[in-house]
Each structure stands twice: as structure tokens, then as C-alpha cells.
Amino acid sequence: MTAATDGLLRDLAPQVLGAVVRRYGHFDAAEDAVQEALIAAATTWPDSGVPDGPKAWLITVAARRLTDLLRNEQARQRREDTWKLPAAAPAADEEDADDTLILLFMCCHPALPRAHQIALTLRAVAGLTTVEIARSFLVSEPTMAQRITRAKQRVKASGVPFRMPADRDERLAAVLRVLYLIFTEGYASTAGPSAYRAELSREAIRLTRIVHRLMPLDGEVAGLLALMLLTDARRDARVGPDGVLIPLAEQARARWHKDFIDEGVELVTAAMSAGPSGPYQLQAAIAALHDEARSAGETDWPQIEALYGVLTEMTGSPMAALNHAVAVAMVHGPTSALRMVEDLARDKRLTDHHRLHAVRAYLLEMSGDVDGALPAYQEAARRTQSSQEQRYLRMKAAELARNLRGP
């Protein structure tokens, strides 16, 4: 299967699942049917070519497979009452709704625990693997697999209709968290050969734009959209011609996308001036400070340090705390920042995460402790699943090793 076909199937998967669930219900069985349709496409399209209307092709194949699954599981009369019901005419507002967005809100049913909502949506809407989702949550793969299975069972048992829910405000926090994780996995892939998965980032931005149109006065929706745009603006400058990651401070800012920056700054400025700021607005404000600086040396680190302090206190996030430590180092020097990192090392959520060791390595290098930084970079490289990050961290370690050996 070609990379183009793989990308097309990934883009179409949530749309096809949404369409099948809308027409026939049976979320759990529908997901299995869609997966089989995707496998059929991956098997046949390389030889026969992508058909005209590939989405319709996938929906047709998935619907047939769903019919087979239900026929095997249900008696004839029950089958006729469920899987062979004529399609009901959609309401006027549903005709304009995006099936993928409806699927997203449906997965974020308030009867599900928050972690289960997010995990299920990442699996069904974004098409992430269980391993990728587990890594985003800092939990083991078996634990995440159990969460996804239980969530599917709860959605199946609930019998919720496939339409935009009336209680969408109650589901919004989970929806935004899902969109954030989808974007993050796209922009900074946690595994695999590519540092950037454009299809995930694009889909997250597209869906967040739709949510923003639905809820234009919600500051956190605007903040999340701004954060995505301000971050994705740097995508072309993140990787060099040789495929090596380029740190933010060393990126060619002329390659940043000014239209995304301008839109993101406008969004976050309006949102933060309209009322109390939430976590996504704070992160967007930090991203805006980076993007608006004409050079790395002109970055307003004191303001960034203050914002990370507020964000860490508000969320209790260990990743926010790590970023706060870096900002503290840029303002006050690495000594106090290293003490912060040593305290964070006792947080079980970070025990096996490569970023803890990468930040520690950076701060040790910044302090002049090359002997300490070298093994920290090596440990970070061993722990990351991203080949791009692994390559960068190993290059940093090799560079320090050469410095230790001397000329």
C-alpha cells in the first residue's frame, strides 16, 4: 500500500464510521465493519486503483459487512427491526452537521468516565493505535486496551441516537481534550519514523474550527484553536533537510506561517480579554509569545515563566511543570530549574517518560555539567518511541561525547 493510499484511508476512516453509525447505529459492530472495509481497500486498491468516490465505496463495503455481522448475531425478526430499518429523514440541523464531529461528541458521553471518553474518541475518530493512546495518557497498553473495550460496551448499551447531543456543553471538556491530543500526536508524533503526521494535525484543526463555529463565545474553544494554529505555524521549520529535528530557538522563523500566527494571536487576544482564562488560552498565550518574537533572543521569557507557573498551578500537569522548569532556567538560570526537575522525578506519571530525562539533560548541559548531561541524553534517547526524537537526542549525546574527548 502506498503512503498516499494509507493517508487517504486514515483521513476517511472517521468519516466512514460516522456515516455508518448515523445510518445503522450499532457503534461497536460498526467499528469492526469499518475496519474490515479499510482492510479490503488496503488489499484491493493498490492493484485496482482508488475508485471514484472512495468514501462511498468504503461505506458500502462496511454496511454490507455490518449486515453480515448483525445477521450472525440476531434473530430474523430482530434483524429486520434494527439493521434493515429505512433511514430516517435527518433534521435540518443534522444535514449540515459533520459526521465526524457528531461521532466525537457521541463518544464523549457523560455516562463514560473522562479517561474512557477520550480514549474511545482517539481510537474511533483519530484512528490512533492503543499504543499511541496509552503513551499520551502515560499508562500501559493493557490498561488502555481495557478502557477502550469498556467504553465501547457502555456506548453500545446506552443506545444513544447518532445526532449532535443537546447536552454538548457537558461534553465539551472531553471533546477539547481529545482534539488537543489528536493535534499533539500529529504535530509531535510519539512513535514511528515521522516527526509530523499532517493528517492528524489537519483533522484536529478542522474539527476544532467546527466546534468554534458552534460555540463562538467559549473562550477555551477559541484558546484551543489558537494554540493549534500558533503551534502548527512552525511545522515547516521543525525538521531540517537531513530529517533532523530543529529546536525552537534554532528554527528559521521566516519559514513560519504568518497567516496561522496572525489568526491565532487574534483568537487568543479576544478570548483572554473576554473573561477568565483557562488552560488552553494560557498555552496559546505562551505560543503567541514565542511566535511573535522576531528572534529567539527577543523571546519574553519572564512572561512565559509567569504563564507556565499559572498553568502548572491550575492543571497540576507534570508536562506543564517540566516546561515551567525550562522557562525558569531561561529567566533565573539552571540551578533552581534542576531542583524543580529533581522534585518532578518523584512523580510516577513521569517515571518512564523520555521528556523528564531530556529536560534534565538540557539543564545540565546549560549549567556546564557535560558529564551529567551525556548519560541523561542517552537515557532520554532510549526511552522515546519516536525515531526522529531518538535521532536528535543521540546526536546531542554524541556531540557532548566529542567535547569530553577533546580535540
pLDDT digits (tens, 9 = 90+) for 371-381: 999 999 999 99
pLDDT digits (tens, 9 = 90+) for 211-265: 898 889 999 999 999 999 999 999 999 988 888 889 999 999 999 999 999 999 9
Looking at residue 96, what is its pLDDT? 37
pLDDT, averaged across the chain: 83
Looking at residue 322, what is its pLDDT? 96
Torsion of CA 270, 272, 275, 276, to 10 degrees: 160
pLDDT mean over 78-96: 38
Does the pLDDT of residue 70 top 50, yes or no?
A: yes
| Cα distances (angstroms) measured from residue 64 to each of 11, 19, 60, 80, 385 | 21, 13, 6, 15, 38
DSSP code string of 305-337 = HHHHHHHHHHH--HHHHHHHHHHHHHHH-HHHH
CA distance 25 to 23: 6
- 201 or 232, which is more confident: 232
Looking at residue 314, what is its pLDDT? 95
Give the SS3 label for residue 200: helix
Lowest mean pLDDT among 20-24, 278-282, 292-296, 299-303: 20-24
